[in-house]
A and B are shown apart, each in its own frame.
Chain A
Amino acid sequence: MSAAPIDLPRWADAGLVPLVSVAAALVVAGLVVIGIGESPLEATTLLLRGALGSAEGVSFTLYYTTNFIFTGLAVAVAFHAGLFNIGGEGQATIAGIFVALACLWLAPLPGILLVPLAILAAAAGGALYGFIPGWLQATRGSHVVITTIMFNFIAATLSVYLLVEVIGKPGSMQAETPEFARHAILTPMHELLAPLGLKLPATPLNSAFLLALAALVAVWALIYRSRLGYAIRTVGANPRAAAYAGISPARIIMVAMAISGALAGGLAVNEVMGVQHRLLLDFTAGYGFVGIAVALMGRGHPVGVGLAALLFGVLYQGGAELSFDKPSITRDMVVVIGGVIILFAGALDGLFRRLVAGLLRPGRPS
């Protein structure tokens, strides 16, 4: 699409360009920190110590990373099909409702059946809510971007209605469901690792983290090692060529959006089943949007998504610790960094590729 494609070696394209844009984004964040009269160096030290300096910090970091892996993968899979799914928030919200209903209604079942069923319910809820915009684009021509934006709001109002009027806990001041049964929740990591002799502090980190790692591998296998993944990448690169090769772009759009939604549902598994053990309003807390930054930074590849998710996990946990010490640097800093990364690694990609090309070939204007 662009005028003169800038040729870069593959390692530079996959590694250097995201690194340079992230570094630039962190510089911008540092300027904001200076702007509010704090020292960026001190803030960075506090942030890193908070995120990685203790077993508790690392556990929290990995708990946040879990959320970002799911939402990042959701955006990445849609990207491969040439689609922009900004509906991660809405898909996770619907998945949360499905999880809560499964955990509450199927409570008589034993845990070994209930937990997988509830996870499947989350995936189904997210997939359904991703499929509809895909279906509308494939068959009715409405754009996935606008539909998913509108769907985010529809999901939010639906969950307010359900939590306040239908499935909310009677007599509770907060809009929330009753707490799930003990056997309906995911095992916390410190309990999971205790039989192995590892003593971890009690944190929200739970077995959903392992599910997220499995999702990384599964998405890699799907996108790069399967027939469906090949079809998805072909449609993303050139829908006309795909149609010529006998691949139905309409079908692939619907399938890719459903997979994307199902992955966003992982956010609900971690938050609702793993941490809160009940459905709360707004549990998605913007993770869906940061997922866009994760996917862009990770170049859509599961390895990149994993690393980018880890970076945001560090920023989230470190940012929380930092705001204890420096109340003026709130966690909204992570939102700013996310925004700048989306701008630099996504919208200004061309600028940064040009910069990197200039770095690699000094003296020759490109």
Chain B
Amino acid sequence: MEWVQTIAVVLDSAVRLSVPLLCAALAGLWSERAGIVDIGLEGKMLIAAFASAVAAFATGSAWVGLGAGILASVMLALVHGFAAITWRGNQIVSGVAINMLAAGLTVILGNAWYGQGGRTPSLEGPARFPDLTLPLGAWAREHVPVVGTIYDEVVSGHAAPVYLAFGCLLLTALVLKRTRFGLRLRAVGENPAAVDTAGISVAGLRYGAVIICGALCGLGGTYLAVSQSAGFLPHMTAGKGFIALAAVIFANWRPWPALGACLLFGLLDAVAIRLQGVIVPGIGQVPVQAIQALPYLMTVILLAGFIGKSTPPKASGLPYVKER
């Protein structure tokens, strides 16, 4: 049964690697379904990672860190909202600005406060989220073949933000599909004029979406700094916000397929890490870079309509002008 164990270990690391992607992808999904294009996911995650590490170090509590991370990310999201909704600015330009702001500010402040080249001091004990062991893990591994091992290794043993992220996925799918708020929010991304005619505030709904987007990026960034690592490192998001953007496109702006895309990209990452320097018989050394480039390549190919068809929300990226 050794191969079951190997597969379970790879799957486990795929889940861990896909959690920040999932948070950011859900964030992007909320924003874009409401018609606000957000390429600033990366920057929001980065500032959340920094703020959460700072707060967790100062207070010794991972949960305070999570609050600070979400707060910082929501602040940046509101800047994006202010530019994109209130001033009808170019949403792409605003997103680029937010990414640069976050990349610069985190390093400057981190360096000024701790003098470690932008890193925050490493977090210990309750300042990090501990791994939670779900009940019956050991028993299941003992008595249920395959599934038990998978349960004990993959499902159990993650930190609280992981389960929170999956909870957010459930909530996102439910709210978007089944509630009045979700329906209105989707409508505002497809045909804001109709929503406006119905007497519902377009700006209000879009601000709501942008704030939710910020909170989710906050969760993802906090997970990176306070759970996966023990502190903040400069540029630690390393393009995850953009892979999440790719996942949103891949999932055709839908929550469950977004989970699939994130797990797939997480799995690719896990496999790439495992194959580093390994000689595969018949192929030779696997170029790890090729695996790393796959999510980006697949997105380009998908967007170009060579596989499937992507249908973004109709009004996405367009500022809403009442008089028109």
Residues of A within 8 A of B (CB): 1-4, 32, 35-37, 84, 86, 136, 140-143, 145-147, 149-151, 153-154, 157-158, 160-161, 165, 289, 292-293, 296, 327-330, 332-340, 342-343, 346-351
Minimum Cβ distance to chain A for residue B7 (Å):
26
Given contacts A136-B304, A147-B303, contact A346 B108 (CB under 8 A): no
Minimum Cβ distance to chain B for residue A5 (Å):
11
B99: chain A residues at CB < 8 Å are 289, 339
A347: chain B residues at CB < 8 Å are 83-84, 87, 89-91, 93-94, 97
Task: Flag whether B193 is at the interface (Cβ < 8 A).
Answer: no
Given contacts A339-B98, A347-B94, contact A330 B322 (CB under 8 A): no
Task: Flag whether B145 is at the interface (Cβ < 8 A).
Answer: no
Task: Flag whether B204 is at the interface (Cβ < 8 A).
Answer: no
Pair B297/A342 contact, Cβ less than 8 Å: no
Pair A343/B94 contact, Cβ less than 8 Å: yes
Pair A346/B89 contact, Cβ less than 8 Å: yes
Q: List 27 A-B contacts (CB under 8 A).
A: A1-B321, A3-B88, A136-B304, A142-B305, A147-B300, A147-B303, A150-B242, A150-B296, A150-B299, A157-B290, A157-B292, A157-B293, A328-B111, A328-B115, A330-B118, A332-B105, A335-B100, A335-B103, A336-B104, A338-B104, A339-B96, A339-B99, A339-B104, A342-B96, A343-B93, A347-B89, A347-B91
What is the chain A residue whose CB lies nearest that of B305? A140
A339: chain B residues at CB < 8 Å are 96-104
Pair A330/B111 contact, Cβ less than 8 Å: yes
Pair A348/B304 contact, Cβ less than 8 Å: no
What is the chain B residue whose CB lies nearest that of A147? B300
Minimum Cβ distance to chain A for residue B158 (Å):
27
Report the bound CA distance from A3 to B89 in whole Å.
12
Pair B245/A146 contact, Cβ less than 8 Å: yes
Task: Flag whether B112 is at the interface (Cβ < 8 A).
Answer: yes
Interface residues on B, range: 35 or more
Pair A143/B101 contact, Cβ less than 8 Å: no
Pair A342/B249 contact, Cβ less than 8 Å: no
B87: chain A residues at CB < 8 Å are 347-351
Pair A161/B242 contact, Cβ less than 8 Å: no
Report the bound CA distance from A332 to B50 in whole Å.
15
What is the chain B residue whose CB lies nearest that of A337? B104
**Contacting residue for B101 out of A150, A329, A340, A351, CB 8 A:** A340
Residues of B within 8 A of A (CB): 39, 79, 82-84, 87-94, 96-105, 107-109, 111-113, 115, 118, 239, 242, 245-246, 249, 287, 289-290, 292-293, 296-297, 299-300, 303-306, 319, 321-323
B249: chain A residues at CB < 8 Å are 146
Given contacts A149-B245, A343-B79, contact A330 B107 (CB under 8 A): yes
Minimum Cβ distance to chain B for residue A136 (Å):
5
Report the bound CA distance from A335 to B83 in whole Å.
19
Pair B246/A348 contact, Cβ less than 8 Å: no
B296: chain A residues at CB < 8 Å are 150-151, 153-154, 157
Pair A332/B88 contact, Cβ less than 8 Å: no
Pair A142/B300 contact, Cβ less than 8 Å: yes
Minimum Cβ distance to chain A for residue B179 (Å):
29
Given contacts A142-B300, A292-B96, contact A32 B89 (CB under 8 A): no
What is the chain A residue whose CB lies nearest that of B246? A150
Pair A336/B96 contact, Cβ less than 8 Å: no
Pair B89/A348 contact, Cβ less than 8 Å: yes
Given contacts A2-B321, A342-B100, contact A150 B300 (CB under 8 A): yes
**Contacting residue for B96 out of A4, A86, A348, CB 8 A:** A86
Contacts A330-B107, A343-B83 supplied; 16 other A-B pairs, CB < 8 Å: A2-B319, A32-B108, A140-B304, A142-B305, A150-B297, A154-B296, A154-B297, A154-B300, A328-B112, A332-B105, A332-B108, A338-B100, A339-B104, A343-B93, A347-B94, A349-B89
A145: chain B residues at CB < 8 Å are 39, 92
**Contacting residue for B289 out of A86, A160, A335, A338, CB 8 A:** A160
Pair A332/B300 contact, Cβ less than 8 Å: no
B96: chain A residues at CB < 8 Å are 86, 289, 292, 339, 342, 346
8 closest pairs, A vs B, by CB? Answer: A339-B100, A335-B104, A347-B89, A336-B104, A347-B94, A142-B303, A36-B112, A346-B93
Given contacts A339-B99, A343-B79, contact A3 B322 (CB under 8 A): yes
Report the bound CA distance from A195 to B293 in whole Å.
49
